[in-house]
C-alpha cells in the first residue's frame, strides 16, 4: 500500500471511531450494574406508561419585573433559566437509547413554536452559557424555523436529538393538569416541560408549570428539587447577566 492509500485508510478509521468517543458525543454511558437506580430502571423499563407528570405553580414576579425593566425577552429569560436548572439536575440528563442509559454533559432546549400559519414547528436550540448569546441565538433560530414548513420525523428514540428537553408554552391556559402526546412503543426518556399563562394574583406574577419525566430515570423527589432550583433562579434574575460571562 502506498502512502496515499495509508492516509486514506487512517482517515476512514478516524471518521469511524471519532463519533463513538464520549467527548464528541456529549455523553457518557452509565455502568448499569453500579447505577443506584438500576433496579428501579428495570422495574419501569417495560411499563406501558412509565412517565409521570407533576403540575405546580412558579412565581415569576421578580423575573418578569427585571425583564420588563431591562427590556429583555421574558420568554427567552425563563427558557434560559430552565436550561440552567436542567443542567444542574443530573436525573434530567439521563437518556435511554439503544438499550443503554446515557448521561449527557450539556442539555439544550427544544421548544415548540407557532408559525404564521398557526401550525407548530420544533425549534432546537444549542446549549449556550451566556444569556445575551442565548437570546440572540433563540431569536435567529425561531425566525428560521417559522419560515420553513413542518416536516415529520421518524418516531423512534434513536432518530431524534437526545441532548435536549422538550419544552412548550401555552400562554392561553392557567392549567392545573396536563398530558403530553407520547409514542408509547419507544423508550423515549426525554423530559417535557410546559409553561402556561402568566397571571397576576394578589400582586404576584404566577405561571403554571408541568414537568413530565420517565419514572425509570427519577422520582418525585428529583422533580421537586428541579422545581426548587428553577424557582430560586426565577427569584435571582441577575443570573441573566452573571452566568457564562
pLDDT at 24 over 70: no
Q: Write b or e for each residue in 61-94: b if 16 or more Cβ atoms lie within 10 A of its Cβ, otherwise e.
A: eebbebbeeeebebbbbbbbbbbbbbbebebbbb
End-to-end Cα distance, the chain: 52
pLDDT at 186 over 80: no
User: How far apart are the C-alpha atoms of 216 and 223, rounded to whole Å?
Assistant: 13
pLDDT tens string 196-205: 999 999 999 9
* pTM score of the predicted model: 0.87
Average pLDDT over residues 204-232: 97
With contact defined as beta carbons under 8 Å apart, do 108 and 95 qualify? Answer: no
pLDDT tens string 76-127: 999 999 999 999 999 999 999 988 999 999 999 999 999 989 999 999 999 9
Lowest mean pLDDT among 22-31, 36-45, 60-69: 22-31
More confident residue, 85 or 18: 85
Q: Which three cell numbers stand for residue 31?
A: 455502568
Confidence of residue 25 (pLDDT cuts 50, 70, 90): confident
User: How far apart are the C-alpha atoms of 202 and 212, rounded to whole Å?
Assistant: 29
Amino acid at each position: 500500500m502506498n502512502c496515499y492509500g495509508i492516509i486514506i485508510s487512517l482517515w476512514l478509521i478516524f471518521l469511524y471511531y471519532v463519533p463513538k468517543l464520549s467527548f464528541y458525543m456529549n455523553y457518557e454511558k452509565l455502568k448499569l450494574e453500579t447505577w443506584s437506580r438500576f433496579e428501579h430502571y428495570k422495574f419501569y423499563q417495560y411499563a406501558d406508561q412509565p412517565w409521570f407528570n407533576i403540575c405546580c405553580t412558579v412565581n415569576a414576579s421578580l423575573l418578569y419585573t427585571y425583564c420588563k425593566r431591562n427590556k429583555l425577552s421574558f420568554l427567552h429569560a425563563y427558557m434560559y433559566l430552565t436550561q440552567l436548572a436542567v443542567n444542574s439536575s443530573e436525573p434530567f440528563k439521563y437518556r435511554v437509547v439503544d438499550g443503554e442509559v446515557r448521561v449527557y454533559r450539556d442539555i439544550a432546549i427544544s421548544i415548540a413554536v407557532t408559525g404564521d400559519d398557526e401550525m407548530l414547528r420544533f425549534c432546537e436550540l444549542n446549549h449556550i452559557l451566556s444569556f445575551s448569546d442565548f437570546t440572540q441565538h433563540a431569536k435567529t433560530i425561531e425566525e428560521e424555523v417559522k419560515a420553513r414548513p413542518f416536516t415529520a420525523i421518524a418516531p423512534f428514540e434513536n432518530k431524534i436529538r437526545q441532548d435536549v428537553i422538550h419544552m412548550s408554552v401555552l400562554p392561553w391556559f392557567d392549567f392545573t393538569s396536563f398530558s403530553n402526546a407520547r409514542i408509547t412503543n419507544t423508550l423515549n426518556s426525554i423530559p417535557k416541560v410546559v409553561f402556561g399563562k402568566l397571571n397576576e394574583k394578589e400582586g404576584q406574577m404566577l405561571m403554571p408549570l408541568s414537568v413530565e419525566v420517565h419514572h425509570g430515570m427519577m422520582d418525585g423527589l428529583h422533580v421537586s428539587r428541579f422545581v426548587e432550583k428553577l424557582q430560586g433562579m426565577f427569584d435571582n434574575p441577575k443570573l441573566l447577566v452573571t452566568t457564562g460571562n
